[in-house]
Structure 1
């Protein structure tokens, strides 16, 4: 049996209309439609991420190769339930409508696609047959059932009458603009996943504004990826194909701001380099308005459209264009007038105020804007301070006030995780005032060790450790970078010395790298009097690590996982897969997840090296439980013998980002999800370290 003919015809009719919709005005005055003007988009998921998640051995290469990225189309193909996020103007809606159009217009043929600016080209493939797209624009306050009925009356009845269930066809439900519902978007996504569970022939693609959806805890089964800005090679190819422009020769649209698809279009039409969004907007406005009076009218119109005062959604439908023109309109208004809409819709208006600040840069009015942002109380002030951090241009008393707000955001776990991540990066550049080499005192004694929640961690039993101190945080790029600078040891981290990543965990290092750091820090801290002559810095044993992570928490049963904060999973407590970062972040961003001894990031963030041996088989440990004095702490084991990793990392789900799950890796292996934290203990504990 096939999908009902009427339903198929309705889906095809709606999707075909997208192909003829105007997409891009060209410099000669002509218009490219969606069918001809679409530029394939890439996402922040690389071939390396997929292949062993970036795992490398020391002998494999001395430097990491440039990332080669998957396309948005390919991650839709590979994930039955996907959330694509991007900034305003990143091409989310264009991609969704183009996908729908192509699926009903003969599908996709393999075509070569540039994957980075270093010359990597691979064919883009789509190998799913008979996929029927249903494009649904999300409207605030409406349930999924209402949205579906409004978009395609009778769909629910068709899904439930058995005809679709018996079909080989797949329905691709495309929910565009899920950020429109605010925090209600999480419920909407759960409704869609429930629909998918009841109808296996349904696939889900949701699209949302990154600044909003990155703060949502991801429902189980939903994968999230971010759209990337346009590569330089993509812009050159698109300009040559669509407008016959040679961007290298003309200097048009290759600037940093023109990597945003909406701003690329504006720069190309206006003949601007695209170094700043404001210059691109001004050149575009001059071209389309023709005179100052008309330009001012259009800017006021854009402001009204953005504030919801206009009923016609077709007036300047691209949100990024509205934002840039609204900023130009506000340049003649009082600071309080500009900040007011930001208080109620920060995600929508933050780009407006950043653009406004760029226009006011260096003036007293820029200072007034910052003062208005950090006036008030509660989350409004914290969120205003976060935006002000992007606006302020130099050190001084005002920046010190903003830095205090950023520190409060991180320390209190305030706002959303993406907002805290942004605060952490800014503090890294300005100088993070926290003691990121601080230690926690962990008392010795007998405690419950292990769990029956995974065979490799079983059985739970009693283990004994002595007193020790352990790092409150994983070792950071700043600390490890000092070691590299003094010793000249090779380090393959692509962002280890980035200014905005100094307070993130050091990664891309082997077990031997971590041990060498411990040796170096032992001498350094002895000389400074921070540790005694009979103490050393080293990696934690497996028992020490778990003791620091779980404290005196008992075994709660075979089905209950132990986390540093307790036995029930908490959203916003760990940089795990559920957080959606797919990368390390500033240490200490998840204070809800602190261990009983105050340690941060012991679930998620980075897999942490330990001293304990695992064995040679990746799947099954040679050194099983109960923990014993059976040579598993030998420091001179063969290179083929894997060492324990604990805690999970940013791509680990909540089943692994916990106190008891055991990972492992060869001592010469490394990748961007491996780090470590240090222990201070007496040198004799394991028969010496060096």
Structure 2
């Protein structure tokens, strides 16, 4: 009779054998007819998280006004290494499962080799290191109707026995979106499991459309996979074929940036520069006659539409979606619109590819009209993204987009898309509107952080403050009139005009206020006894928290004392960038101000001191102790408030204090204005 120890060893051996088998799975077909396995053909994936983001110092001193350095990105592997709980988001075909299987395979082999990985198209290369030690991978293909614990038990029976004492655990949840409405529950259970098992890591892989509506537990770091760089594709082709892709420009085109489409381009060859051209060329190589190609496209459509459950013909979802789009190109557009409303996540890539095919024939208008006519807000949002140039449909769609933004409809990620489109079309909201903040005595500071303590009472006079941070469009007007230098990649980006102006020093913000004072006086918007300026620290906090009192250890937010979902562009939201202002109406302050938690750190007039960690000007706040000296030395840091898009919920609040030198700037800091009497 086999003893228990032998049974456990057998279970572990079986688990590792199954995981090692991932390495032999076919990954891509080479032009010479050979097939590269996952072990042979894997290309490291990058994420939308840069070295600058990681260095809380993503803060740069403005010395010579040099152009910002190109972003240098982390790899997906490094994000798994650095986060105990991580959600990697990617569109269909982005390589999520391939990455996870390669990681599991490498860990089962016993080691992840150190590799040099290209980090951007400008040629930055850094070694990719794991350095965690012994890790047991558990690969879970998520299915609907089963709890996290049930799925884990199916993947790894008797898990506690499988794991060796000196071994960490990596649980990979592939395809979380398959759980449907239970996806958030599965992630919550996974987070709880990790909390009680600190040697465990959780990696959740989620399709990007579904991820817009899946609520992630706050402990999860959330990052998006980047498409293949052109440099990565060039290196891959050279590695697989032994020469540069002289006769296959398709692999270097924008359409081949998606990994699944890169595989198609490798097989199809040619000079195609669009996704649809790559698909057609690939299909031509695959079938060699139009009738068979049409048959395959019909089968792919049936699979995506749920008329057939045979996914084996094209196991990659992206391939089925793109072929379904080709099939629908000759059908009534209402068919695609109807399918989209049933399952927007699955059908968005189909509709986008279909629109590209119809647009090439100048017939995409009927598809856009069908989506608008469906009455589905997601259909309206998608249709807005398909419009190019001026169109009468813009006037019909714009009120729906503004409704999505102002009422907080759909998910934050979907509102972010709506915000970009509204910005591009010309945002009709008054983004220079002011809120009236009454004077009075209020509780200032908090016991939740030493630099913000002690809470005490401060009196301020009444003032007006911007409902929104100063936007790119508003600041660009200042630049156009004054010629002041501004190193911002968003300056001329039409989709970012309604996002906060960033990469601004304290002196830049002050200069804007002085300029706006003259402009608004000349227009009669403010009186001759009023000025535009930055807020003092108490004014900023008053506008953010109102009359909310200190309540024990609770953090004070603009909306109350408890963190909530969908209230701020903070680390928990996962944008890792600024967004159109006003997307989080549930997070407004008591005086109606938007984006006072997260989004961008906002400059105040108040001085901090010369030590980044500890302020020289501590609380209680005294107006006449020199902390409001406008002419302090450049080494004296100025206060920043509110947190930014990469700040967690303990910093994206009403009371946490940040700081930076007056000549420092970063893509995470901006400002909002105050209007007051000269004497205040």
1:388 Cα deviation from its structure 2 partner: 0.2
Q: Output the CA distance in 1 between the equivalents of 2:654 and 2:518.
A: 31
Q: Do the aligned partners of residues 289 and 482 (structure 1) sit closer, same or farther apart at CA in structure 2, a change above 3 Å counting?
A: same
Whether contact under 8 Å (1:217, 1:579) holds in the other structure is: no
Q: Which residue of 1 aligns with 2:596?
A: 602
Moved more, 676-685 or 217-226: 217-226
Whether contact under 8 Å (1:232, 1:259) holds in the other structure is: yes
Moved more, 236-245 or 508-517: 236-245
Q: Do the aligned partners of residues 97 and 482 (structure 1) sit closer, same or farther apart at CA in structure 2, a change above 3 Å counting?
A: same
Whether contact under 8 Å (1:2, 1:169) holds in the other structure is: no
Where 2:15 maps in the other structure, the secondary structure is helix
Correspondence 1:279 to 2:274 = no
Deviation track 1:91-112 (CA, whole Å, cap 9, x = no partner) reads 0011111111111224222222
Correspondence 1:524 to 2:519 = yes
1:248 Cα deviation from its structure 2 partner: 4.6
Q: Which residue of 1 aligns with 2:126?
A: 122
Q: Output the CA distance in 1 between the equivalents of 2:7 and 2:169.
A: 10
Q: Do the aligned partners of residues 210 and 2 (structure 1) sit closer, same or farther apart at CA in structure 2, a change above 3 Å counting?
A: farther
- Aligned pairs, number: 675
Where 2:204 maps in the other structure, the secondary structure is strand
1:486 Cα deviation from its structure 2 partner: 1.9
Q: Do the aligned partners of residues 216 and 644 (structure 1) sit closer, same or farther apart at CA in structure 2, a change above 3 Å counting?
A: farther
Moved more, 487-496 or 125-134: 487-496
1:245 Cα deviation from its structure 2 partner: 4.7
Q: Output the CA distance in 1 between the equivalents of 2:374 and 2:354.
A: 21
Correspondence 1:460 to 2:455 = yes
1:250 Cα deviation from its structure 2 partner: 4.0
Correspondence 1:506 to 2:504 = no
Q: Output the CA distance in 2 between the equivalents of 1:241 and 1:386.
A: 41
Residue of structure 1 aligned with 2:77, choices 73, 85, 93 = 73
Correspondence 1:586 to 2:602 = no
Where 1:182 maps in the other structure, the secondary structure is helix
1:665 Cα deviation from its structure 2 partner: 1.3
Q: Output the CA distance in 2 between the equivalents of 1:198 and 1:67.
A: 36
Whether contact under 8 Å (1:511, 1:667) holds in the other structure is: yes
Deviation track 1:17-54 (CA, whole Å, cap 9, x = no partner) reads 11111111122222111111111111111111112241
Q: Which residue of 1 aligns with 2:552?
A: 558
Moved more, 653-662 or 672-681: 653-662
Correspondence 1:34 to 2:38 = yes
Matches within 5 A, 1:42-61: 42-59=46-63
Q: Output the CA distance in 2 between the equivalents of 1:93 and 1:362.
A: 32
Where 1:578 maps in the other structure, the secondary structure is coil
1:149 Cα deviation from its structure 2 partner: 2.6
Where 1:424 maps in the other structure, the secondary structure is helix
Q: Output the CA distance in 1 between the equivalents of 2:288 and 2:602.
A: 60
1:365 Cα deviation from its structure 2 partner: 5.1
- In the alignment, structure 1 segments of 5+ residues that lack a partner are 686-690
Find runs of 4+ consecutive structure 1 residues off by over 4 angstroms.
Answer: 1-4, 362-365
1:619 Cα deviation from its structure 2 partner: 1.9
Q: Output the CA distance in 2 between the equivalents of 1:523 and 1:428.
A: 27
Residue of structure 2 aligned with 1:646, choices 624, 630, 641 = 641
Q: Which residue of 2 aligns with 1:633?
A: 628
Q: Which residue of 2 aligns with 1:656?
A: 651
1:297 Cα deviation from its structure 2 partner: 0.8
Whether contact under 8 Å (2:454, 2:619) holds in the other structure is: yes
Where 1:132 maps in the other structure, the secondary structure is strand
Whether contact under 8 Å (1:613, 1:634) holds in the other structure is: yes
Q: Output the CA distance in 2 between the equivalents of 1:410 and 1:220.
A: 23
Deviation track 1:404-463 (CA, whole Å, cap 9, x = no partner) reads 221111111110111000111111111111111111111111222122122221222221
Where 1:54 maps in the other structure, the secondary structure is coil
1:376 Cα deviation from its structure 2 partner: 4.3
Q: Output the CA distance in 2 between the equivalents of 1:477 and 1:273.
A: 38
Correspondence 1:397 to 2:392 = yes
Q: Output the CA distance in 2 between the equivalents of 1:205 and 1:518.
A: 46
Moved more, 1-10 or 63-72: 1-10
Whether contact under 8 Å (1:85, 1:226) holds in the other structure is: yes
Q: Do the aligned partners of residues 262 and 458 (structure 1) sit closer, same or farther apart at CA in structure 2, a change above 3 Å counting?
A: same
Q: Output the CA distance in 2 between the equivalents of 1:587 and 1:25.
A: 46
Alpha-carbon RMSD across the aligned residues, in angstroms, is 1.9
Q: Do the aligned partners of residues 303 and 372 (structure 1) sit closer, same or farther apart at CA in structure 2, a change above 3 Å counting?
A: same
1:16 Cα deviation from its structure 2 partner: 1.2
Where 1:305 maps in the other structure, the secondary structure is helix
Moved more, 130-139 or 268-277: 268-277
- In the alignment, structure 2 segments of 5+ residues that lack a partner are none
Whether contact under 8 Å (2:221, 2:572) holds in the other structure is: no
Residue of structure 1 aligned with 2:670, choices 670, 675, 687 = 675
Q: Output the CA distance in 2 between the equivalents of 1:274 and 1:449.
A: 61
Q: Which residue of 2 aligns with 1:688?
A: none
Where 1:252 maps in the other structure, the secondary structure is helix
Q: Output the CA distance in 1 between the equivalents of 2:83 and 2:212.
A: 18
Moved more, 583-592 or 638-647: 638-647
Whether contact under 8 Å (1:458, 1:625) holds in the other structure is: yes
TM-score normalised by the chain length of structure 2: 0.96
Q: Which residue of 2 aligns with 1:62?
A: 66
TM-score normalised by the chain length of structure 1: 0.95
Where 1:312 maps in the other structure, the secondary structure is coil
Q: Which residue of 2 aligns with 1:137?
A: 141
